[in-house]
C-alpha cells in the first residue's frame, strides 16, 4: 500500500515538472510568435507582463530586459526604465538569453544591452570609509566618509530631510562623499536619505537608511562647583525716612586656579640647556664619527619606512563603531556610536517627466 502511495506522489511530481517546463516553453514560443507576426511593441510587452510572475528565477532576467526593450520601442519610457532598473538592480544585469527569438530581434536586444551596460548608474557597493587610525578619538568625528563604487559614471544628488546636501559627478570606480556628522550623531534612531543617480534621461533614486545607536559611559565625573554668591542692598533715605530699597544677588564663578612650576630665571628658546653647557647651535659632529652617524640615519630611515608599510589600508564597511570622548555636564564621557548602512529600495524616474 505504501509503495503505491509513493508511486502516486512521484507521478504527480513528474506531471507538475513537465507542466512547468511546457509552460516555460510556451511563453518563449508565444513571444517569438508575436515578434514574427509583427505585433505592436505595446501588445508584446503587455502579453509578457501578464506571465512574468509565473516565470522561473533563471528566466526573469531575460524577460525583464525584453520588457524594457519593448516598452522603449513603444515610446513608454516610464515602464521601460522601471523594467530596466529591475534588470540591473535585482538581477545585477546578468543571466540573459535570447536564442528563442528571431535573429533580428536578438541582435537588437544585444545592442540594447551593451548600450545600457556602459551607461546604467549601477552602484556596486556603498559603505563607510574608515581611515587607518586609533580606535578611540579625542573628539567626535567632523565628517562621515562614504565610499561609493560605481559601475559607470553618473551625476548624483544626496538628499537628506528634503534638502540636497551634496551633488556632483561620480566617476566609474571608487568615489568618496564627505558628510557632516552632526545631523547623524545627535541621537539614536534611523536616518533616511536618498541618493539620486542620473544617466541621460534616467534617474535612479536609491533609498538608504543609516541606523544610529548611541551609548555613553562617564569616565571622569565633574567635581561639584562651589558657587560664590554676593548680595547687595541699595537704600534711598530722606533723613531718617526710608523711601525705597532694592536688593540683588549675584552668583560668581570661582576663578580658575593654575599651578605653574617655579621659574629658574633662565630663558631657553631652543629647549633645555645642553649638559656640557655649550649652546645647541655650536654642537657639531666629529669627522671620525661621521660614518657611524650616517649608518644610524640609514637604520632610522629603514625603520620608519617599514612602520609606514605596516600601516593597514583604509577599510570599507557597512557597519562601523566610532568611539570618542565628549565633555558634557556630567564630566568626560566615552561615547560609542554604532552605525549601519542599508539599501531600502529604488525607483526609476524619467528626468524629462520629473523636471518642471
Give the pLDDT score at 15. 40
Per-residue pLDDT of the chain (356 residues; tens, 9 = 90+): 545 555 545 544 444 443 444 444 689 999 999 999 999 999 999 999 999 999 999 999 999 999 999 999 999 999 999 999 999 999 999 999 999 999 999 999 999 999 999 999 999 999 998 765 556 677 778 889 999 999 999 999 999 999 999 999 999 999 999 999 888 888 899 999 999 999 999 999 999 999 999 988 887 776 665 566 677 677 766 666 666 667 777 665 555 444 455 555 554 544 454 444 444 444 444 555 556 656 666 677 667 666 655 656 667 889 988 888 877 777 788 888 899 999 889 999 999 877 65
Strands lying side by side in the sheet with 315-317: 173-180, 143-150, 123-130, 315-317
Give the pLDDT score at 266. 55
Give the pLDDT score at 8. 47
| Residue 267 CB neighbours (<10 A) | 6
Query: For 213-238, b where at least 16 C-beta lie within 10 A, e where not — what string?
Result: eeeeeeeeeeeeeeeeeeeeeeeeee
End-to-end CA distance of the chain: 73
Are the beta carbons of 208 and 126 closer than 8 angstroms?
yes
Give the pLDDT score at 274. 47
Instruction: Give Cα 119 distance to the centre of its chain.
Output: 22
CA dist 28 and 227 (Å) reads 86
Are the beta carbons of 216 and 140 closer than 8 angstroms?
no
Is the sign of the CA dihedral 120, 125, 130, 136 positive or negative?
A: positive
- What is the phi/psi pair of residue 335, to 5°? -100, 140
Q: How many CA atoms lie within 13 A of 333 on its CB side?
A: 14
Are the beta carbons of 60 and 68 closer than 8 angstroms?
no
- What is the phi/psi pair of residue 237, to 5°? -120, 145
Give the pLDDT score at 22. 42
CA dist 117 and 92 (Å) reads 10
| Residues 6 or more apart in contact with residue 169 via CB below 8 angstroms | 153, 154, 155, 156
Are the beta carbons of 313 and 129 closer than 8 angstroms?
no
The pTM for the full model equals: 0.68
Tell me how long the chain is.
Answer: 356
Are the beta carbons of 71 and 80 closer than 8 angstroms?
yes
CA dist 72 and 96 (Å) reads 18
Amino acid at each position: 500500500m505504501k509503495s503505491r502511495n509513493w508511486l502516486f506522489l512521484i507521478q504527480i511530481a513528474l506531471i507538475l515538472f513537465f507542466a512547468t517546463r511546457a509552460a516555460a516553453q510556451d511563453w518563449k514560443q508565444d513571444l517569438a510568435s508575436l515578434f514574427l507576426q509583427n505585433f505592436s511593441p505595446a501588445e508584446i510587452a503587455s502579453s509578457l507582463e501578464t506571465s512574468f510572475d509565473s516565470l522561473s528565477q533563471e528566466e526573469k532576467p531575460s524577460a525583464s530586459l525584453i520588457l524594457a526593450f519593448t516598452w522603449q520601442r513603444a515610446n513608454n519610457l516610464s515602464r521601460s526604465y522601471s523594467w530596466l532598473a529591475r534588470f540591473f538592480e535585482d538581477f545585477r544585469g546578468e543571466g540573459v538569453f535570447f536564442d528563442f527569438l528571431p535573429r533580428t530581434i536578438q541582435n537588437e536586444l544585444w545592442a540594447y544591452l551593451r548600450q545600457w551596460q556602459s551607461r546604467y548608474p549601477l552602484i556596486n557597493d556603498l559603505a563607510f570609509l574608515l581611515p587607518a587610525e586609533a580606535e578611540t578619538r579625542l573628539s567626535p568625528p567632523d565628517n562621515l566618509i562614504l565610499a561609493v563604487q560605481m559601475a559607470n559614471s553618473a551625476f548624483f544628488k544626496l538628499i537628506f530631510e528634503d534638502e540636497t546636501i551634496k551633488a556632483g559627478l561620480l566617476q566609474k570606480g571608487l568615489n568618496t562623499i564627505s558628510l557632516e556628522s552632526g545631523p547623524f550623531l545627535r541621537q539614536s534612531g534611523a536616518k533616511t536619505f536618498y541618493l539620486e543617480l542620473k544617466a541621460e534621461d534616467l534617474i535612479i533614486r536609491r533609498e538608504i537608511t543609516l541606523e544610529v545607536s548611541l551609548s555613553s559611559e562617564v569616565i571622569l565625573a565633574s567635581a561639584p562647583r562651589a558657587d560664590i554668591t554676593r548680595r547687595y542692598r541699595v537704600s534711598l533715605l530722606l533723613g531718617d525716612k526710608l523711601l525705597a530699597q532694592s536688593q540683588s544677588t549675584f552668583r560668581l564663578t570661582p576663578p580658575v586656579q593654575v599651578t605653574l612650576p617655579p621659574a629658574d630665571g633662565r630663558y631657553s628658546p631652543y629647549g633645555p640647556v645642553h649638559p656640557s653647557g655649550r649652546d645647541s647651535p655650536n654642537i657639531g659632529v666629529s669627522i671620525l664619527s661621521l660614518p657611524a652617524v650616517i649608518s644610524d640615519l640609514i637604520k632610522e630611515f629603514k625603520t620608519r619606512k617599514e612602520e609606514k608599510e605596516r600601516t593597514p589600508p583604509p577599510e570599507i564597511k557597512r557597519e562601523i563603531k566610532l568611539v570618542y570622548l565628549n565633555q558634557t555636564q556630567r564630566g568626560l564621557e566615552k561615547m560609542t556610536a554604532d552605525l549601519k548602512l542599508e539599501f531600502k529600495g529604488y525607483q526609476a524616474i524619467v528626468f524629462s517627466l520629473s523636471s518642471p
